[in-house]
């Protein structure tokens, strides 16, 4: 039997945020000048904000850019109980001693990584303030609990994403936060481009991909009329992957597109009808 | 659900709860006794429908409860269709009509097997509306009627379908018919004038049947391009074409075929002599005269909107403005007939949204936009139904105004100082009984709203045994100490984390009291406010309600219904009941005044919700159309600068075209039917503030 302290120690190492570089190129199809803008912002040490609807490729774009710039990527999915400590780090009590553990943001700053805060508006308002010193000329992270002031190396970069389609007034980003970022608008790609992406990612033929994209486009027209948001490219890719496994297209689309989008019976049935009509 | 049947006393209690029978001194004993004999599933179904009906009217619920027991006992009785028919009759003709329909429905549908198979329009209306909205990108009008046809704007579908072998097949048939009618309007069935051909036929009905059949062939092929699944359903429903029609079907299936080809096929058929037509199960009627009449009106309206937008574009464009901008107004119709490049290239992005929608609609009606339409010809403008000019204002605002407000004139690009005279007064009290009646009628809904909102309120709950937090968790410390002394590994979770759930929110509801809200819309607004108040009281948010109306810039009226800090008491409820349709909708000044009041509130988040039934409008031409939209938009921008978020709930079938311009794409919702507002309003509010 091992001593309690050492076992807790090894646990700690296991949960500390690892910094890894992506080995393989994540597939991403550029639709505008976003790659150039992002690269220039990275070279200038500016933070970047990605705006756009769910599932249109924001996260994939960051992964792709991290690979392209050869920097490690730390992704944090923000939620409404994300505290400053969750980002910066905390003391853990292990046996008789207290041990400091860096949070993902601190780890990214120390290691010169890209830190991607996904859906930043979901985080508690006081949490977003901690990123402010990192997003102006200071480029530093004060860690109050340790009395430490970490200057970010040139390779550190902060990226946040934000979905302007949310209607809740409590989930708007404050101008004082917004105005620190270089912003890139994301939207669903053009139909042909999107079909190419679905075919590539989902492993289906061009004809099936075109039908999936047509279905996606039809559902997007229902935004505000039964749906909060239409099917994103990600959902289409999911459906394509199910189809590629040999599932019937209608079943795949029902499971991967219609059910995740809607609970309300009329809208669900309308989606069923659309799927039946497109395939 | 358990299989046990409900006993009489349980049924009585459920019926009493829904219908408030004891209040009305009615006894649920008889219906309950009849229902007791039924299986649990049927019992629940009956209670379900009684509950739904009770939301509309307890009398209607009672009518269903009284009749359901004996009817539902019959084998294969189509309870759902029966109840739906009753509700529909109530919507159309009131309680007496509903009772009559509930009574004679049984006589009308003795064929129980068919009742189980048949699918009523009401059962598929919602899903079809969604389906067509997705196809077209706009909400479509759906109605049911004896004749299955479309005039290009409204789709009439059969009241019930019972041609297929099962319910699923009949639902599919509904979908096919709806899609076919949509396709007629979308793919140009009404873009040719069939009269020259139709008059040559001795039998007009037969001629129209042939035209409808040929168009069906053409449209099936058209739909097959994008919606192959739907076309497959059509082919399966009709079966193979008769051999002599095969060549025609093939000819009309070519992608370039148009309605003119269908007419050409008719001409050939007429020469060789036509036999009887084939009637596919999705057969639709055609009424080209009615459809083309409506189309002409639509084209005129769209042309006006488009021309006006082009005039404005020219007026704004500095190159064509010419004269000095000091002149009272630059002429809207500038000379020269240069067509903006965006339009020539077919790209409509440069136009405002309503003009873009009009241009798209025109392009659909005319297979493209003829260049002569793009030539400016006077200020063609959007005109709402004109009011009688002799009519005077309903409101009587007099004396010194309470405040003066500037108004934004987009044509000048400047403010008109102290332009609007605002009078604020207390809203008149209405009947108290009305509010009570609404609360009784929606008792079910109110209960469920309160439950959901109370859950949303959230409390300042300390979370124990956290990895870190604001306080030390003494219990956890004691445990950890004991563990350590006992040689076990102590848990590191030693803190209390206080999760702050703070809703520092002030909401202002701004209610349209313009003359156009008269009737259903006004009822819907008032009912929605009652439901909202119940919901927000449960939530504890700070809120206020003001009504607005007016008659020109010198009589802008604001009615206090409930101020911030006022309680939701009998007096407030009476003022809600007293909200009535008055004059016009000068929105900008109301937004400015109310956002000023809201701004003074001490809350982190401030929200302005407008309930209205259409675009800004005022007496005289000036505020109508773009002027009012620009002014309102400006007022909302000013509010935004003060940190006030705005959200608009509009009851307007055609609303979506100007709202993006007014509110930005994410901040409004359109409700196409006033009756749906009360049921949806609480959800809208919950989503907004979640």
Closest Cα in chain B, distance from residue A262 (Å): 12
Rounded to the nearest angstrom, the minimum Cα separation between A129 and chain B is 16
Q: Which residue among A90, A95, A167 sits closest to B666, beta carbon to beta carbon? A: A167
Q: Cβ contacts (< 8 Å) between A221 and chain B: which residues?
A: 133-137
Distance of residue B144 Cα from the nearest chain A Cα, in angstroms: 18
Cβ of B130 within 8 Å of Cβ of A266? The answer is: yes
Helices vs strands, H then E, count in chain B: 26, 16
pLDDT of residue B96: 85
Q: Do B229 and A278 touch (CB under 8 A)?
A: yes
Query: How far, CA to CA in Å, does B297 sit from each of A83, B45, B153, B358, B574?
Result: 60, 46, 11, 12, 44
**Considering only alpha carbons, which residue of chain A is nearest residue B468?**
A90
Residue of A nearest to B686 (CA): A168
Q: Is the pLDDT reported for residue B341 higher than 60?
A: no
Q: How far is CA A91 from CA A94, B390, B491, B492, in A?
A: 9, 78, 13, 10
Average pLDDT over residues B95-115: 67
Which of B233, B499, B607 faces A169 most closely, judged by CB atoms? B607
In this structure, the answer to whether residues A265 and A168 fall within a common structural domain is: no
| Per-residue confidence (pLDDT) for residue B86, from 0 to 100 | 83
pLDDT of residue A108: 94
Question: For residue B370, with 0-12 CB atoms within 10 Å meaning exposed, 13-18 middle and 19 or more buried, which class applies?
Answer: exposed
Size of interface A-B (CB pairs under 8 A): 120
Minimal CA–CA distance to B522: which of B578, B570, B594, B574?
B578
Q: Which of A167, A176, A267 to mutate to test the interface with B (most CBs of B within 10 A)?
A: A167
Which spans in B273-331 are helix H? 288-316, 318-321
Among chain B residues, the shortest Cα distance to A210 is held by B226
Residue of A93, A165, A274 lying closest to B494 (CB–CB): A93
- State percent of chain B over pLDDT 70: 83
Using the 3D structure, point to which of A153, A185, A217 is the last residue of a domain: A185
One domain for residues A43 and A158: yes
Is A94 in Cβ contact with B139 (below 8 Å)?
A: no
Q: Give the pLDDT confidence score for residue B324 in this predicted structure.
A: 37
pLDDT value of residue A150: 93
pLDDT in the model for residue B442? 83
More confident residue, B475 or B164: B475
Q: How far apart are CA B226 and CA B222, in angstroms?
A: 8
**A207 and A178 share one domain:** no
**Closest Cβ opposite residue B130 in set A94, A270, A275:** A270
Q: Are strands B462-466 and B119-120 parallel, antiparallel or unpaired?
A: unpaired
Within 8 A of B228 by CB-CB distance, chain A residues are 211, 278-279
Residue B614, phi-psi category: left (phi > 0), alpha (psi -120 to 50), beta (remainder): left
* A273: chain B residues, CB-CB within 8 Å: 127-128, 130-131, 175
Cβ–Cβ of B490/A95 closer than 8 Å? yes
Q: How many domains in chain A?
A: 2
Contact A274 B131 (CB under 8 A): yes
pTM given for the model? 0.63
Question: Of the candidates B226, B480, B687, which has its C-beta nearest A214's C-beta?
Answer: B226
Chain B residues touching A4 at Cβ < 8 A: 488-489
In degrees and rounded to multiples of 5, residue B542 shows phi and psi of: -85, 130
**Longest CA–CA separation in chain B, Å:** 107
Contact B505 A169 (CB under 8 A): yes
- A181 and A200 fall within a common domain: no
How are beta strands A148-151 and B149-150 bridged, if at all? Answer: unpaired
- Mark yes or no for CB contact B689/A169 under 8 Å: yes
Same domain, A42 and A99: yes
The length of chain B in residues reads 690
B459 vs B160, more confident:
B160
**Tokens 């429908």 found at:** B49
Instruction: Indicate yes or no: CB of A219 within 8 angstroms of CB of B129.
Output: no
Rounded to whole angstroms, the Cα distance separating B617 from B511 reads: 15
Q: How far apart are CA B43 and CA B59, in angstroms?
A: 19
Rounded distance between C-alpha atoms, residue B595 and residue B606, angstroms = 9
In this structure, the answer to whether residues A96 and A232 fall within a common structural domain is no
Residues of chain A positioned with their CB less than 8 A from the CB of B134: 218-219, 221-222, 270, 274
Mean local confidence (pLDDT), B502-507: 78
Whether B179 sits inside 8 A of A277 (CB atoms) is yes
Least confident of A104-108, A271-275, B254-258, B666-670: B666-670
For A124, the closest chain B residue by CA position comes to B500
Other beta carbons within 10 angstroms of residue B505's beta carbon come to: 21
CB nearest to A222's CB, from B126, B133, B497: B133
DSSP track, B162-217: --SSSHHHHHHHHHHHHHHHHHHHHTTGGGS--HHHHTT-S-HHHHHHHHHHHHHH
Which residues make beta-bridge pairs with A74? Answer: A115
Say which residue, A247 or B327, is predicted with more confidence: A247
Q: Are B559 and B426 in contact (CB under 8 A)?
A: yes
Same domain for A235 and A145: no
Q: Which positions in chain A touch B226 (Cβ < 8 Å)?
A: 214, 278
Burial class (CB in 10 A: 0-12, 13-18, 19+), B5: middle
Once rounded to an integer, what is the mean pLDDT over residues B637-666?
A: 74
State the Cα–Cα distance between residues B647 and B598, nearest whole angstrom: 14
Nearest-CA distance B289 → chain A (Å): 31
Examine the domain organization and report whether A34 and A167 are in the same domain.
Answer: yes
Which residues in chain A touch residue B489, judged by CB atoms under 8 angstroms apart? 4, 7-8, 95
Across the interface, do A167 and B492 touch by the CB < 8 Å criterion? no
Residue B619 CB coordination number (10 Å): 21
Instruction: Kindly list the residues from chain A whose CB atom is less than 8 angstroms away from the CB atom of residue B467.
Output: 85, 90, 92
CATH code where residue A175 lies: 3.40.50.300
CA distance A217 to chain B (A): 8
Which band of pLDDT confidence, cut at 50, 70 and 90, is reported for residue B337? very low
Say yes or no: A28 and A147 in one domain. yes
Cα B597 versus chain centre, distance: 30
φ, ψ of residue B423 in degrees (nearest 5): -115, 125
The minimum CA-CA distance between A148 and chain B, rounded to whole Å, is 19
Q: Do A167 and B128 touch (CB under 8 A)?
A: no
| DSSP sequence for B597-626 | HHHTS--SEEEEEEEESSS-B-SSSTTTTH
What is the 3-class SS of B420-463, one letter each residue? EEEEEEECCCCCHHHHHHHHHHCHHHHHHHHHHHHHHHCCCCEE
Six-digit token string for B383: 């005109």
* Predicted pLDDT at A47: 95
Domain termination site, one of A185, A201, A227: A185
Chain B: closest CA distance from residue A91 (Å):
8
List chain B residues with CB under 8 Å of A219: 134
Chain B residue numbers with beta carbons less than 8 Å from the beta carbon of A224 are 656, 669-670
Q: Are A114 and A71 in contact (CB under 8 A)?
A: yes
pLDDT band at B389 (very low <50, low <70, confident <90, very high): very low
Least confident of A14-28, B282-296, B420-434, B506-520: A14-28
What does the block give as tokens for A164?
């302007």
Q: A17 and A96 in one domain? A: yes
Average pLDDT score over chain B: 78
Question: How many other C-beta atoms can be found within 10 angstroms of the C-beta atom of residue B15?
Answer: 26
A279 interaction partners in chain B (CB closer than 8 Å): 228-229
Which of A198-207, B129-138, B307-316, B412-421 shows the lowest per-residue confidence on average (mean pLDDT)?
Answer: B307-316
CB contact under 8 A, A273 and B131: yes
Nearest to B687 among A83, A168, A276 (CB): A168
Tell me if B18 sits within 8 A of B55, measured CB to CB: no
**Residues A207, A159 within the same domain:** no
Q: A211 to chain B: nearest residue by CA?
A: B226
What is the average pLDDT across B196-219?
A: 88
Instruction: Name the domain boundary from A125, A151, A185.
Output: A185
Where in the sequence is the domain holding A18, given as residue range(s)? 4-185
A136 and A223, same domain (yes or no): no
Q: What's the start-to-end Cα distance of chain A, in Å?
A: 61
Q: Decide the pairing of beta strands B414-426 and B556-562.
A: parallel
Contact A269 B505 (CB under 8 A): no
CA distance B132 to chain A (A): 8
Query: DSSP states of chain A as a string?
Result: ---HHHHHHHHHHHHSPP----SSPPP----SSHHHHHHHHHHHT--EEEE--TTSSHHHHHHHHHHHHT--EEEEE--TT--HHHHHEEEEEETTEEEEEE-HHHHHHHHT-EEEEETGGGS-HHHHGGGGGGSSTT-EEEEGGGTEEEEPPTT-EEEEEE-TT---GGGPPPHHHHTTSEEEE--PPPHHHHHHHHHHHHT--HHHHHHHHHHHHHHHTTBTTTBSS---HHHHHHHHHHHHTT--HHHHHIIIIIHHH--SHHHHHHHHHHHHHH-
Q: Do B229 and A279 touch (CB under 8 A)?
A: yes
- Specify the 3-state DSSP secondary structure of B416: strand
Q: Which of these, A235, A192, A182, lies nearest to A65 by C-alpha position? A: A182
Answer whether A92 sits within 8 Å of B467, measured CB to CB.
yes
User: Radius of gyration (Cα) for chain A, nearest Å?
Assistant: 21
From the CA of B664, how many Å to the nearest CA of chain A? 11
Q: Whole-angstrom Cα distance, residue B252 to residue B249?
A: 5
> B93-104 burial by CB neighbour count: b if 16+ within 10 A, else e?
eeeeebbebbee
Domains within chain B, CATH numbers bracketed: 8-117 (no CATH), 289-374 (no CATH), 432-455+502-689 (3.40.50.410), 462-498 (no CATH)
By C-alpha distance, which of B389, B312, B327 is closest to B630? B312
List the single residue in A with minimal CA-CA distance to B138. A221
Q: Residue A237: its pLDDT value, please?
A: 95
Low-confidence ranges of chain A (pLDDT < 50): 1-8, 13-14
Determine contact, residues B441/B19, Cβ cutoff 8 Å: no
Half-sphere exposure of A248 (CA within 13 A, CB side): 6
Residue B298 confidence class, pLDDT cut points 50, 70, 90: confident
pLDDT for A7 equals: 47
The nearest alpha carbon in chain A to B608 belongs to A169
Question: Could you say which of B134, B227, B505 has the minimum Cβ distance to residue A222?
Answer: B134
| A201 contact partners, CB below 8 Å, separation of at least 6 | A27, A237, A240, A241
């Amino acid at each position: 039997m091992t001593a309690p302290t050492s076992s807790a120690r090894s646990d700690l190492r296991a949960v500390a945020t690892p910094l890894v570089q992506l080995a393989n190129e994540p597939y991403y199809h550029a639709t505008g000048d976003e790659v150039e803008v992002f690269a220039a912002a990275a070279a200038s040490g500016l933070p970047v904000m990605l705006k756009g609807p769910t599932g249109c490729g924001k996260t994939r774009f960051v992964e792709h850019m991290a690979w392209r710039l050869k920097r490690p990527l730390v992704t944090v999915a923000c939620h409404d109980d994300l505290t400053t400590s969750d980002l910066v780090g905390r003391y853990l009590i292990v046996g008789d001693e207290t041990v400091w553990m860096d949070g993902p943001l601190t780890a990214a700053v120390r290691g010169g990584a890209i830190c991607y805060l996904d859906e930043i508006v979901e985080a508690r308002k006081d949490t977003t303030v901690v990123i402010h010193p990192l997003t102006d000329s200071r480029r530093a992270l004060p860690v109050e609990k340790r009395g430490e002031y970490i200057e970010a190396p040139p390779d550190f970069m902060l990226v946040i994403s934000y979905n302007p389609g949310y209607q809740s007034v409590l989930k708007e980003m404050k101008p004082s936060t917004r105005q620190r970022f270089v912003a890139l608008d994301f939207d669903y790609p053009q139909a042909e481009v999107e079909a190419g992406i679905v075919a590539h990612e989902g492993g289906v033929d061009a004809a099936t991909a075109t039908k999936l994209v047509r279905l996606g486009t039809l559902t997007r027209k229902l935004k505000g009329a039964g749906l909060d948001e239409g099917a994103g490219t990600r959902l289409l890719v999911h459906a394509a992957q199910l189809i590629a496994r040999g599932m019937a297209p209608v079943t795949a689309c029902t499971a991967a597109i219609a059910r995740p989008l809607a609970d309300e019976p009329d809208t669900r049935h309308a989606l069923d009808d659309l799927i039946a009509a497109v395939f | 659900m358990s299989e046990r049947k409900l006993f009489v006393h349980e049924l009585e209690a459920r019926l009493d709860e829904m219908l408030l029978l004891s209040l009305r001194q009615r006894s649920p004993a008889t219906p309950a006794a009849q229902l007791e004999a039924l299986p649990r599933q049927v019992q629940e179904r009956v209670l379900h429908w009684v509950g739904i009906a009770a939301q509309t009217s307890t009398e209607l619920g009672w009518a269903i409860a009284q009749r359901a027991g004996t009817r539902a006992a019959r084998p294969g009785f189509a309870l759902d269709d029966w109840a739906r028919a009753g509700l529909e009759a109530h919507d159309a003709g009131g309680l007496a009509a509903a009772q009559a329909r509930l009574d004679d429905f049984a006589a009308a549908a003795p064929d129980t097997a068919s009742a189980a198979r048949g699918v009523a329009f009401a059962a598929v209306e919602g899903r079809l509306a969604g389906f067509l909205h997705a196809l077209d990108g706009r909400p479509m009008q759906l109605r049911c009627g004896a004749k299955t046809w479309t005039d290009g704007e409204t789709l009439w579908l059969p009241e019930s379908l019972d041609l297929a072998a099962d319910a699923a097949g009949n639902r599919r048939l509904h979908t096919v018919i709806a899609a076919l009618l949509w396709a007629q309007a979308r793919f140009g069935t009404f873009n040719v004038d069939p009269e020259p051909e139709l008059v040559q036929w001795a039998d007009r009905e037969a001629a129209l049947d042939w035209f409808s059949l040929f168009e069906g062939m053409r449209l099936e092929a058209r739909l097959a391009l994008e919606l192959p699944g739907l076309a497959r359903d059509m082919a399966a429903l009709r079966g193979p074409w008769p051999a002599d029609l095969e060549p025609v079907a093939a000819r009309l299936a070519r992608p370039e075929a148009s309605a003119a080809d269908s007419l050409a096929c008719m001409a050939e058929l007429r020469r060789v002599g036509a036999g009887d037509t084939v009637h596919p199960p999705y057969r639709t009627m055609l009424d080209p005269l009615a459809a083309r009449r409506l189309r002409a009106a639509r084209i005129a309206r769209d042309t006006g909107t488009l021309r006006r937008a082009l005039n404005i574009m020219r007026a704004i464009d500095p190159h064509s403005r010419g004269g000095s901008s000091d002149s009272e107004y630059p002429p809207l119709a500038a000379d020269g007939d240069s067509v903006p490049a965006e339009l020539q290239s077919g790209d409509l992005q440069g136009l405002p949204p309503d003009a873009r929608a009009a241009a798209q609609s025109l392009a659909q009606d005319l297979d493209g936009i003829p260049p002569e339409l793009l030539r400016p010809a006077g200020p063609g403008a959007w005109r709402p139904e004109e009011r009688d000019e002799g009519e005077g204002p309903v409101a009587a605002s007099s004396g010194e105004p309470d405040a003066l407000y500037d108004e934004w004139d987009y044509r000048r690009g400047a403010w008109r100082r102290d332009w609007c005279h605002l009078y604020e007064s207390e809203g008149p009290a209405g009947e108290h009984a009305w509010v009570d009646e609404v609360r009784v009628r929606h008792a079910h809904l109110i209960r469920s709203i309160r439950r959901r909102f109370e859950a949303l309120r959230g409390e300042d709950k300390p979370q124990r045994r956290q990895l870190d937090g604001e306080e030390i968790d003494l219990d956890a410390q004691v445990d950890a100490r004991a563990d350590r002394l006992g040689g076990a590994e102590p848990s590191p979770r030693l803190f209390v984390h206080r999760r702050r759930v703070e809703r520092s929110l002030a909401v202002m509801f701004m209610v349209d009291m313009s003359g156009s809200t008269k009737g259903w819309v006004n009822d819907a607004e008032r009912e929605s406010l009652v439901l909202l108040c119940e919901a927000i009281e449960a939530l504890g948010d700070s809120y206020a309600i003001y009504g607005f109306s007016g008659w020109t810039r010198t009589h802008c009226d604001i009615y206090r219904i409930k101020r911030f800090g006022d309680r939701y008491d009998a007096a407030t409820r009476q003022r809600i009941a007293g909200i009535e349709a008055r004059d016009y909708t000068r929105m900008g000044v109301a937004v400015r005044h109310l956002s000023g009041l809201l701004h003074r509130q001490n809350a982190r988040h401030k929200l302005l919700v407008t309930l209205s039934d259409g675009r800004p409008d005022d007496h005289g031409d000036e505020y109508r159309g773009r002027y009012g939209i620009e002014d309102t938009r400006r007022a909302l921008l000013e509010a935004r600068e003060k940190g006030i978020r705005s959200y608009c709930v509009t009851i307007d079938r055609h609303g979506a075209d100007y709202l993006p311009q007014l509110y930005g794409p994410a901040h409004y919702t359109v409700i196409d039917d006033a009756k749906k507002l009360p049921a949806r309003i609480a959800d809208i509010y919950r989503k907004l503030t979640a």
